[in-house]
Amino acid sequence: MTGKSQLGDFLQARRSQLRPEDIGMPTYGERRRVPGLRREELALLAGVSASYYTRLEQGQSLSASPEVLDAIAGALRLDESERRYLHDLARADRPRTRGRRPAPERVTEATAQLLDVLADVPAIVLGRRSDVLAWNRLGHALFAGHLDPGVPDLSAQRPNMARLVFLDCHTRDLYADWPSKARAVVGNLRLVAAQHPQDTALHALLGELSAKSGEFASMWADHRVKACAVAAYEMRHPLVGPLTVVQQTLSHGPGPNMVVATTEAGSPSRAALALLAQVITQDTVPADPAQPAPRADVG
């Protein structure tokens, strides 16, 4: 790798985001030429020499010990996810032999069975790059009803949730607070990129998103890391209106994860989800002229 390392980029970005007043450091009204802490100030907080920290940030030293990384993480006030990310970056920047091409991601039989029994809960199965590997009918209707429901079965045409969030107008309009969803997507991709530094398909996706979305490029450059296993989102569904769902990632170790969307019992959101299930059921069975069509105006 030439130039600055990923580790150095991350350290510089986070140092610039940590202000002297955040750590109780007096500045006595001095005019500072750099945003955030100076390198020597961060080094002092971490208990390492300023020259060593400078080499680390400039990508000239790739041999930081776990103890030194933990000390720097403490000085930067990183949370647990950010601390793990820091360690992953240090490993990613070290020279390594070329690894084997990762195996294609597939849905296991156990995951397929779970997806099947969750018929009343929107659920999708995502690969590590956020490719949609499978979804149940309600998951498809909630997250991507404008797409062909069979596309996850075609590996060359699988939807990618990160690409949908940033480049697809329908998906963008689904989220009342789109920036919150977008930041969660970027933060998760940063974690994955550090864990899989040689995944060329992942880096191609990141390059595509950076080229096509200025918002993605800006969020990526911010170096924010976010492990988002549970988050509440207000959605604005075109068929059933507004509803608030809790998106939860069910992880079973290495391999694809399942994301489910739940709603509060007895809430208007639960009623909207039930209506969505009714709508998609009626779309797949012959209409009964004696029965009125369901209304799609639940608030």
Rounded Cα distance between 45 and 71, Å, is 8
Residue 85, C-beta contacts closer than 8 angstroms, at least 6 positions apart: 10, 78, 190, 191, 194, 225
| 103 within domain boundaries | no
pTM: 0.81
- Distance of alpha carbon 158 from its chain centroid, rounded? 18
| 217 within domain boundaries | yes
CATH number at residue 73: 1.10.260.40
The DSSP line for 193-215 is HHH-TT-HHHHHHHHHHHHH-HH
Same domain, 127 and 180: yes
pLDDT tens digits, one per residue of 132-168: 999 999 999 999 999 999 998 887 789 999 999 999 9
195 lies in which domain range? 109-282
Same domain, 35 and 183: no
- Domain end, chosen from 69, 93, 117, is at 93
pLDDT tens digits, one per residue of 211-247: 999 999 999 988 888 777 899 999 999 999 999 999 9
Same domain, 122 and 269: yes
Same domain, 169 and 208: yes
Rounded Cα distance between 170 and 147, Å, is 10
Collapsing DSSP to helix, strand or coil, 145 comes out as coil
Helices 268-282 & 137-144 angle (0-180, nearest 10): 110
Do 205 and 213 meet the contact criterion of CB atoms below 8 Å apart?
Answer: no
Same domain, 113 and 74: no
Residue owning tokens 């998106």: 247
CATH number at residue 230: 3.30.450.180
The residues with which 123 forms a beta bridge, in sequence order, are 260
Same domain, 241 and 191: yes
**What is the tally of structural domains in the chain?**
2
Rounded Cα distance between 63 and 130, Å, is 32
Reported as type and span, the H/E element at residue 117 is: helix 109-117
Provide the 8-state DSSP code for 95: -
Rounded Cα distance between 85 and 228, Å, is 14
Residue 142, C-beta contacts closer than 8 angstroms, at least 6 positions apart: 122, 235, 237, 245, 261, 273, 276
pLDDT values of the chain reduced to their tens digit, one per residue, 299 residues: 334 578 889 999 999 888 887 777 766 667 777 778 889 989 999 999 999 999 998 888 767 889 999 999 999 999 998 999 999 988 876 655 555 566 778 888 888 999 989 989 999 999 999 999 999 999 999 999 999 999 988 877 899 999 999 999 999 999 999 999 999 999 999 999 988 888 899 999 999 999 999 999 999 988 888 777 899 999 999 999 999 999 999 887 667 899 999 999 999 999 999 999 999 988 665 545 454 444 434 33
